[in-house]
Chain A
Amino acid sequence: MNTIALLGQPNSGKSTIFNQLTGSRQHVGNWPGKTVEKKDGSFTYNNTKYTLVDLPGSYGLSGNSDEELITEKFIKGGEADLVCVLVDASQLERSMYMLADFASMDVPAILILNMMDVAGDQGKEINDRLLSERLGIPVLTFTAAEGKEYGKLRELIEQELKTPHRLVTAPVIDAGTNDTGVSAGKMLAEGQAKYAWISSLLEGVTNTKQTKYKLSKFDTLMVRPVLGKVVTVGIILVGFLAAMLIMSPFMGVAGMLPGLLGAPIANFLTGLNVHPWLVSVFSLIIPNTIYFCISMAAFVFGVNVVFGFLEEIGFLARAAYQFDGALSKLGLQGKAVAPILMGMGCTIGGASGTRVMDSWGQKMLTMMVVWAVPCASIWSIIPVISGMFFPIWGTLLVCVGIIAYIFVLMFLVSKVFGKSLIPEDAKAGMIMELPPYHKPHWRYIIKEAWIKCFDMFKRALKTVTLVSVIFWAFSYSPTGNVESSLLYKVGTTIEPVTRFFGLGWQTFMAFISAAFAKEAVLGTLNAVFAGQSDVASVAFNASAGGVDTMALSAYMTSAISGAEALAFMFACTFSVPCLMALSTTYKESHSLKWTLKTAGFYVAAALLLSCIVYHIAALFIG
């Protein structure tokens, strides 16, 4: 077996190396019986296949979390034929701590000095030969984000699997260490011994002197309590504009598909004497599904490029510093700020952005909080619907109300689920390094965003096709009149119940479609309110951007009250964000139970909210 394990602190570039080596040949799951993510993958070099395991765990191997215990057991059990220990060359002394923790385990290893580019920029020189001599294992100088560096890494791995080396030195720690827990005093003494070992190793290896740190001009601004937050949010907003620019060409091209493909498919199938029913399925659903999936993937791509960039240059760490205080009120820590901000663009991006969190509990709670953030699609619907019923100032009030409720909902989520996801003894405040700003590695950012976007696209094609077919079947009307569709029959049957929540059958159906995709809301409304035309074709054509809002407005204002519209807008905004957000939450959490809990909570909370909003609003606006 050729199993290689990657070991390193956060920010050491571990996931970069993992992704660059394995590409899309990755498998992500859970470690048996634990809610800790297991990532492995493979790559081939000189016709030999290698398995790469990304070891979980944060800063050390002292067995204080599930992650650390799993990592320790994996290495001690001899499951890895070679362990690549990663350290940050720009902060050598501090990041060598992982190696000091690892040194007591007698297994073949190499040391990778990553971020040599940053160390170089700081004028640091490292005598890697001397270090290698002292350690007894090979030391590789490396820059993980540079694709061209990987040749020498693969070569070294191949060579070391044939002729492995083990560390010849380890920190001298007083005897009597037992595996099951150590006292606080002993832990502190061990820490001292490890740093003493690191100092003796680095003597004469680096030229670093502890100098006084001075914040850069930009950082002086970024760390100001109020102004820093304003600048952070401002930069994020500019980032979203950039994301829009990145994705608009893809969406533009994809938007032409339904028009271009619909008629030819219909003609072709009609020519083959296919039943008109099937012709309508294929010519309507397929092009629209592809269009929808491409535009969603483009969204995910744009958001990931922008946030990948902000992460790479070191900006997101500053944002985490800014919002740590606020987020700790939700039981989260500063690092959760990035996924939450991503959620303002796209909940799917936000959910997958929770990977930066330290533990599974933190990650799951962050995902649940991200769901409360209305994504960009919602903001394209709300003003349209609100504008039909209320004057401009009313619409502004609706938006303010929605924004205010985001915070209420986040607070509710953390109150309801915080304790079980992050128990008191697992609480950990933020300890985070603010890396020096550095130039982005564009190829890497784009590659990472592409992997995420393509993965989303594949999942979306499957689920959206399925749901489209179901929706189509429900809304298909043999007579062309909405009253003969299944949708109408189910909707009107349960209307007495949904009425209680402030939703009539039409708005309730649109509420359900909002949980699949926010983009489908206007189309569904159009279909169910317009009534006379073919529901299916109206809903699907509308999702491609062709809603006649004037006509819809006339139908809606005559059919429902302002209070119902208001209740609907709130319910729609704060329900399940979309089908793909649900799917991504499952993929990231690996927990069906918690994914369903999240969805159940959001649906229930949205209906309750709708009920409250409706009954209060009915008192004032009728």
Chain B
Amino acid sequence: MKLSEMRADTCGEVKSLKGDERFLSRITSIGLNEGASFQVVKNDRKMPVLIFVRETLLALNRQDSENIEVMEVKA
């Protein structure tokens, strides 16, 4: 599923990233590479997705988060 579809307070792992090189390099450098595990902190309609990854609370543009394929992981 897409990151944008995950519910708040669930945990996940990045399966794959889609997009141009600029996006891939940005998203990787901020800590979301393939295999990175994260927690969805808040995910409201029309708002950026708030995730906690590598000790960082990140706000991610909603459109961008649709390019991140994830898998839910039971905490």
Contact = CB atoms under 8 A, between A and B. Distances in A.
A64 B60 CA distance: 19
Task: Please indicate which of the listed interface residues B28, B29, B54, B64 has the most CB atoms of chain A within 10 Å of its own CB.
Answer: B29
A380 interface: no
A210 interface: yes
Contact of B42 (A60, A223, A435): A223
A433 B33 CA distance: 16
A237 interface: no
A325 interface: yes
A433 B58 contact: yes
A177 to B, nearest CB: 14
Nearest to A224: B44
Interface residues of B, number: 41
Interface string A150-162: 0000000000000
B34 A321 contact: no
A213 B33 contact: no
Interface in A225-249: 225
A90 B54 CA distance: 10
Contacts of B24: 184, 187-188, 191
B28 A215 contact: no
Contacts of A195: 33, 36
B44 A225 contact: yes
A187 B28 contact: yes
Does more than half of chain B's interface fall in helix, strand or loop, or is it mixed? mixed
B1 interface: no
B75 A60 contact: no
Interface stretch (A262-270, A292-300, A424-432): A424-432
Contacts of B27: 431
B26 to A, nearest CB: 6
Contacts of B52: 212-213
Contacts of B45: 225
A188 B56 contact: no
A91 interface: yes
Given A9-B29, A62-B29, A428-B26, A93 B21 contact: no
Interface in A282-336: 317, 320-322, 324-325, 328, 333-334
A333 B26 CA distance: 15
B26 A320 contact: no
A83 B58 CA distance: 28
Given A94-B54, A188-B24, A225-B47, A429 B30 contact: no
Contacts of B57: 213, 433-436
Given A212-B75, A225-B46, A432 B59 contact: yes
Task: Please indicate which of the listed interface residues B23, B46, B61 has the most CB atoms of chain A within 10 Å of its own CB.
Answer: B61
A102 to B, nearest CB: 12
Contact of B61 (A93, A324, A433): A324
B21 A320 contact: no
A192 B46 contact: no
A97 B48 CA distance: 23
B54 A91 contact: yes
Given A59-B29, A212-B75, A188 B34 contact: yes
Given A188-B28, A325-B46, A325-B47, A65 B22 contact: yes
B26 A212 contact: no
A431 B33 contact: no
Interface in A530-572: none
B61 A429 contact: yes
A51 interface: no
A81 interface: no
Interface string A411-455: 000000000000001101111111110000000000000000000
A328 B25 contact: no
B21 A184 contact: yes
A60 B28 contact: yes
Contacts of A435: 57
A125 to B, nearest CB: 14
Contacts of A434: 50, 57-59
B55 A93 contact: yes
A197 B17 CA distance: 21
A436 B52 CA distance: 12
Given A187-B24, A212-B39, A432 B29 contact: no
B21 A431 contact: no
A460 to B, nearest CB: 37
Given A60-B26, A93-B31, A429-B60, 17 more contacts: A91-B56, A181-B21, A187-B28, A192-B34, A192-B35, A195-B36, A213-B52, A321-B59, A325-B62, A328-B61, A334-B61, A425-B22, A428-B22, A431-B30, A432-B59, A434-B57, A435-B57
Q: What 10 pairs between A and B have smallest CB-CB spacing? A: A429-B61, A59-B29, A213-B52, A191-B28, A60-B29, A94-B54, A94-B31, A62-B25, A429-B64, A191-B33
13 contacts: A58-B26, A58-B29, A59-B25, A90-B55, A94-B54, A191-B34, A208-B55, A210-B55, A213-B52, A322-B47, A431-B26, A433-B56, A435-B57
